[in-house]
Amino acid sequence: MALTDVARLAKRRGDALIWALYGAGLLPALWYFYLGSTGGLGADPVKTFERHLGLWTLRFLILTLTVSPLREIFSINLIRYRRALGLLAFYYGVMHFSAYMILDQALDLNTVIADIVKRPFITIGMASLALLIPLAVTSNAWSIRRLGRNWMKLHRLIYVAAAGGAIHFILSVKSWPAEPVIYAAIVTILLAWRIVRPSFLRWRRSTQTKAPRPARSAS
Amino acid sequence: AEALKASRGPYATDEKLTSLEDVTTYNNFYEFGTGKTDPASNSGNFKPKPWRVKVDGLVSKPTEFDIDELIAQMPLEERIYRMRCVEAWSMVIPWTGFQLSELLNKVEPLSSAKYVAFETVVRPDEMPGQQGLFQPLDWPYVEGLRLDEAMHPLTILAVGLYGETLPNQNGAPIRLVVPWKYGFKGIKSIVRISLVDKQPPTSWNMQNAREYGFYANVNPEVDHPRWSQATERRIGEDGFFGSGRRKTLPFNGYGEQVASLYSGMDLKVYY
């Protein structure tokens, strides 16, 4: 088999995996929607549904942010799946907001707008979702080419969105239950990595004879 | 749970009851965990009997009551009350209990008594939420009422729901129910009731004073700092589609009976 054939085959398999990721990634939403419509989400199904969609938004944001540290620290390269992970986070954010607006508030736009303006936790959640819109819109190859260096700068907005999402979760509950605190801790670690990354890479370059490729990615 | 004999009291709403299933599986009882289903899942080892409730403080006859004797000698009534949680959901629950005033009259409060302080049991061995590193509140859980609120005929100590003794997750064997206040005032598994002369500390107020006041009267006009209190979701009634948030009523709809307790008070200050 010629080398180009192997490369083409690998690429095709990679593409299939990406589509599988989209499919699998959307399964939780379908599953909880099914449970909700058949009475399987407990006493307060709307709130539970909302909460699950929000949790998956945060999980996909975290997975997206994990891609580059995995490569930089452990040389595991999952960069080709990052766009799907980021878009899944965006889709879940949109579904989370839609569930709140349609199922919870029954499209009472006055209340929704009042909530967004007046309630810090909803303001922060909404702002975080809004920040993901330009990232989703420019997630295509054409935008990446077109925006060049600015694309990387723009996509750093995911840091703000992830921090906002974690704060939104903490502010939505009473007292300090473990779950939102754990999510916030994970996001904090992933963001802190971006701060220490330059010194880490410099240190590793100085200790290794063969320098690793410098990190160019913005994520 | 054992069956309880009770007469139907005068203060019953005719609204649709929340199902026993929802009333017993959707609870806030942080001693058993912070999740809504935690109390039902984690309260199996809790022993609500034998049980004694100490009533002391500024009274002529401090007494320790045995729960079985209390249930036998108090006039039990069924009270169907709306329950409005500070988290903006609500239920309609058929409680069995007796007026707190009946119990307080037995111990004869002194004229210096101005408030009533309540305390929940501390049993980390039986209450997993009281163990471990992540504890959301200081134990024991404490609550309080002004004496006139405590003596109000709507205020009851519940020993049962749906005609049987209280399930552990609902505050067995005895809990407070104050239907015009947010649910967290309804302290559960009470071991001590003290009459005092100063406003007693209350658990959620200590946890976050800006968000949870001593009075905690249901009030659609005073929002929680992080969410609106104008509407509520009635558990089990609205389902998944066509959500029917309903308007929250001042004093949870019991204004006619209790608003006079607060005449002249600014309820935005005393929230």
Report pLDDT for A14: 74
Distance from CA of B242 to the nearest CA of A (A): 7
Cis peptide before B48 (omega within 30 of 0): no
Whole-number pLDDT of residue B14: 81
pLDDT at position A214: 59
* B182-185 LR contacts (CB < 8 Å, sep 24+): B182/B84, B182/B85, B182/B86, B182/B216, B182/B217, B182/B218, B183/B28, B183/B83, B183/B84, B183/B85, B183/B86, B184/B28, B184/B85, B184/B86, B184/B143, B184/B212, B184/B216, B185/B143, B185/B145, B185/B216
Q: Which residue range is the domain that position A36 belongs to?
A: 3-205
Contact status, residue B76 vs residue B94, Cβ threshold 8 Å: no
CB contact under 8 A, B136 and A177: yes
**What CATH architecture is B7-262?**
Alpha-Beta Complex (3.90)
| Nearest CA among B36, B30, B25, B212 for reference residue B134 | B30
> Taking chain A (219 residues) in consecutive chunks of 10 residues, what is each chunk's mean pLDDT?
68 84 96 92 91 97 97 92 96 97 88 88 95 96 92 95 97 88 97 94 81 56
Residue A217 resides in a domain: no
Per-residue pLDDT, A175: 83
How far is Cα B220 from Cα B223, in angstroms, rounded to an integer? 7
Mention every residue, 6+ apart, whose C-beta is less than 8 A from residue B268.
Answer: B221, B222
Residue A165 lies in a domain: yes
Q: List the single residue in B with minimal CA-CA distance to A111.
A: B228
The token pair at B69 is 């004797």
Chain A hits for B137, CB-CB cut-off 8 Å, are 175
In this structure, what are the phi and psi dihedrals at residue B186, rounded to the nearest 5 degrees? -80, 75
Cβ distance A39 to B239 less than 8 Å, yes or no, reads: yes
- B interface with A, Cβ–Cβ < 8 A, is 21-22, 25-26, 30, 34-37, 86-87, 89, 134, 136-137, 204, 207-208, 211, 223, 225-228, 230-231, 233, 235-236, 238-245
ipTM rounded to 2 decimals: 0.81
DSSP collapsed to 3 states, B88-114: CEEEEEEEEEEEHHHHHHHHCECCCCC
Q: What is the pLDDT along chain B (271 residues), one digit of tens a residue?
A: 788 888 887 777 789 999 999 999 999 999 999 999 999 999 999 999 999 999 999 999 999 999 999 999 999 999 999 999 999 999 999 999 999 999 999 999 999 999 999 999 999 999 999 998 878 899 999 999 999 999 999 999 999 999 999 999 999 999 999 999 999 999 999 999 999 999 999 999 999 999 999 999 999 999 998 888 999 999 988 678 866 689 999 999 999 999 999 999 999 999 9
Give residues with Cβ within 8 angstroms of B80, minimum separation 6: B11, B12, B13, B14, B15, B17, B92, B93, B94, B95
Q: Judge whether A145 is closer than 8 Å to chain B, CB to CB.
A: no
Chain A residues near residue B243 by CB distance under 8 angstroms:
46, 103-106
CB atoms closer than 10 angstroms to residue B262: 18
Beta-sheet pairing, B89-99 with B231-234: parallel
Tokens of A51: 């909460």
Asked whether residue A219 is assigned to any structural domain, the reply reads no
For chain A, the domain total comes to: 1
Q: A119 lies in a domain?
A: yes
Asked if residue A59 is part of any domain, the answer here is: yes
B-chain residues near A178 (CB < 8 A): 34, 134
Q: Which residues of A touch B231 (CB under 8 A)?
A: 111
What pLDDT does residue B5 have? 84
| A105 contacts in chain B (CB < 8 Å) | 243, 245
- Top residue of B240, B245, B246, B247 to mutate, by most chain A CBs within 10 Å, is B240
Query: Inter-chain contact B242–A106, Cβ cutoff 8 Å?
Result: yes
Q: How close are the terminal C-alpha atoms of chain B, in Å?
A: 36
Q: How big is the A-B interface in CB pairs under 8 Å?
A: 83
For helices A120-137 and A109-118, the axis angle rounded to 10 degrees is 100
Rounded to a whole number, what is the distance in Å from the CA of B30 to chain A's nearest CA? 10
Residue B47: per-residue pLDDT: 98
Q: Which residues of A touch B36 (CB under 8 A)?
A: 42-44
| B112 CB-contact burial (10 Å; exposed 0-12 / middle 13-18 / buried 19+) | exposed
Residues in CB range of A200: below 8 A, 6 or more apart: A72, A73
Do residue B134 and residue A119 have CB atoms under 8 angstroms apart? no
B38-73 confidence digits (pLDDT tens):
999 999 999 999 999 999 999 999 999 999 999 999
Among the partner residues A49, A121, A176, nearest to B226 by beta-carbon distance: A121
For residue B258, give the nearest of B184, B142, B180 by alpha carbon: B180
